[in-house]
Structure 1
Amino acid sequence: MSATDRGRESATGGNRTLPTPGATGQWTIVALLGAVLVAYLLGPFVAFLLEHGLPAPGAFADPAVRSAIVTSLVTAPVATLLATVFGVPLAYVLARYSFRGKRLLEALVILPLVTPPVVGGVVLVSAFGRLTPIGSAAAALGLPLTQGYAGVVLAQTFVAAPFLVVTARSGFASVDRDLERAARNLGKGPLATVWTVSLPLARGSIVAGIVLTFARALGEFGATMLLGHPPETMPTRIWVEFVAGGTDATVPLVVALLSAGVAVVLVLRLLGTSLEFSP
């Protein structure tokens, strides 16, 4: 290290640069702006809990509440599974191949993310309603696609699957292509290469997408209300309780969904930590 470099390192405290008074003031403004948004985002949750508190265990004994919780916890995993089975291959194709119409396909995959949920419900009813060819054929076979668990799963999958595709695509795109080429040169076929190289290296993004997809499916209201209701999920039951009895009546289900949201955040944080320290 030259004398000039040592002088610079000494002046900056090693790798750290001491903030100037003007920079400190600017960072304070930035921190205050961020703090305002944090307070706004957390404030409603705090206000709700301060006003209503936690529900008594007996509140979850209400048959309607228990039924809504069970419905959500049964349908959301199914929707997440469907999104994973069909979404991961699609994500890999979008990440690794170029073809005519690819950008249009990517836009169509993202479209449900920017479509209001109620609009999503309307277009789903137009595709799978009882008077449509698909809906009438399914109903004739005794498998109606509306007003039942199938409708709930279809609605949840429609609004939540893009989270899986977008996140998994990002993970596959970050995998070094040379590693896949090396696997192919060693005699592995395309599917074996994806299974042994691409999937393990992209697992963090895929798992994050699965968690986000489950959370979105669990909280879906608009499309589920139009296509699947009844049965009632937690969000649709919250609406019914709110209309009938105000915020007080919604406390058990709101707390249940908030608990699920906290669990999702913790899983994502733990996932990020494990990936950060993984070799």
Structure 2
Amino acid sequence: MNSLLDSKRFHFNWLVLSFWLFSMVILGFIILPLIEMLFEQPLDMIVKAAQMPDVTNSILLSLEASFITAIIAVIFGTPLSYILARTQFPYKSIVEAIVNLPLAVPHTVAGIALLFVFGKTGPIGHITERFGISFWGTIFGIIVGMLFVSSPYMINSARLGFENIDIRIEKAARTLGATNSQVFFHISLPLAFRSILSGMVLTYARSIAEFGAVIILAYHPETAPVKIYELFLTGGLKQSSAAAVLLLIITISTFILFRYLTNLNKKA
């Protein structure tokens, strides 16, 4: 009996070891280029990039637009997440496919498609132009591009949060006289809040990195990825990498901060 247990433990250890070896390959693939870029870039070049107004303005614009995008995704994505998690309706699978469609569409294609709707001659863009709101070449266009590509992260994360709530808790509250609105705002929403917050953080992070849809819909004002691409075309790798490292430091710092706040909520 002991020999059988030892044999199983031996095989299990080898399985875990092999999994770790494969894991180290993919983890190294992700982290190695970032580390190499960070250590190869002189500090004075990073400081010089931070002193360039156009670079800092583009980074601030990316942070602002990404935060607004995340807020919009929470407001409009949370209700859809709850519907997908708690209700059954005809063609639900089609709605789920639509939610995940931006993950499969090339982002330059997404930008062109958005231009047909939000451009000056598009059905929405033409109407908003009458009220002085233009999506072409404005922060509104940047937010639209970011929202299109990042909304699935918010919706899917919040949906998982609602699905993980024991439905018997909601049913018990209704039997005690609570309305559907009371159940949602006082039970479902607080219990799924951490998943919603995680979705918001992922949406924020994905929005900062967006390039393809934004550059088609709103090349100017330049977001950080667009500015870095322009620097790469005009000044080569040396100049663009300094701005890239600066953006990387700022985005990782804000991402860690938001993740820390999410973990605080988890412990609470």
**1:216 is aligned to 2:180:** no
Select which of 33, 37, 40 maps to 1:44.
Answer: 33
Unmatched 5+ stretches in structure 1: 1-6
Note the 1:29-40 alignment, pairs <5 A: 29-40=18-29
| Amino acid across the alignment from 2:37 | F
Normalising by structure 2, we get a TM-score of: 0.90
Residue 273 of structure 1 deviates from its aligned partner by 7.3
Compare CA radii of gyration and give the structure with the larger one.
1
- Change in Cα spacing, 1:111 to 1:150, as seen in structure 2 (3 Å) is same
| Amino acid across the alignment from 1:117 | H
**1:261 is aligned to 2:252:** yes
Residue 48 of structure 1 deviates from its aligned partner by 1.1
Residue 60 of structure 1 deviates from its aligned partner by 1.1
Q: Give the root-mean-square deviation of aligned CA atoms.
A: 2.4
| Amino acid across the alignment from 2:93 | R
CA contact (8 A) 1:167 1:209 kept: yes
2:217 is matched with 227
1:185 is matched with 175
Note the 1:103-142 alignment, pairs <5 A: 103-142=93-132
| Amino acid across the alignment from 1:75 | A
CA contact (8 A) 1:238 1:254 kept: yes
CA distance in 2, matches of 1:24, 1:82: 47
CA distance in 2, matches of 1:26, 1:208: 31
| Amino acid across the alignment from 2:240 | T
2:197 is matched with 207
Residue 53 of structure 1 deviates from its aligned partner by 3.6
CA contact (8 A) 2:66 2:204 kept: yes
Normalising by structure 1, we get a TM-score of: 0.87
CA contact (8 A) 2:85 2:163 kept: yes
Q: Secondary structure at the match of 2:132?
A: coil
**1:92 is aligned to 2:107:** no
CA distance in 2, matches of 1:27, 1:73: 40
- Change in Cα spacing, 1:177 to 1:44, as seen in structure 2 (3 Å) is same
Residue 183 of structure 1 deviates from its aligned partner by 1.5
Could you tell me the percent identity over the aligned residues? 32
| Amino acid across the alignment from 2:97 | A
| Amino acid across the alignment from 2:79 | P
Q: Secondary structure at the match of 1:19?
A: helix
CA contact (8 A) 2:49 2:246 kept: no
Residue 111 of structure 1 deviates from its aligned partner by 0.3
**1:150 is aligned to 2:140:** yes
| Amino acid across the alignment from 1:261 | I
CA distance in 1, matches of 2:88, 2:247: 40
Residue 51 of structure 1 deviates from its aligned partner by 1.8
- Change in Cα spacing, 1:19 to 1:225, as seen in structure 2 (3 Å) is same
CA distance in 2, matches of 1:125, 1:170: 32
2:49 is matched with 59
Q: Secondary structure at the match of 1:246?
A: helix
Query: Which stretch shows the higher mean deviation, 129-138 or 100-109?
Result: 129-138
- Change in Cα spacing, 1:18 to 1:71, as seen in structure 2 (3 Å) is same
CA distance in 2, matches of 1:194, 1:252: 47
Q: Secondary structure at the match of 1:90?
A: helix
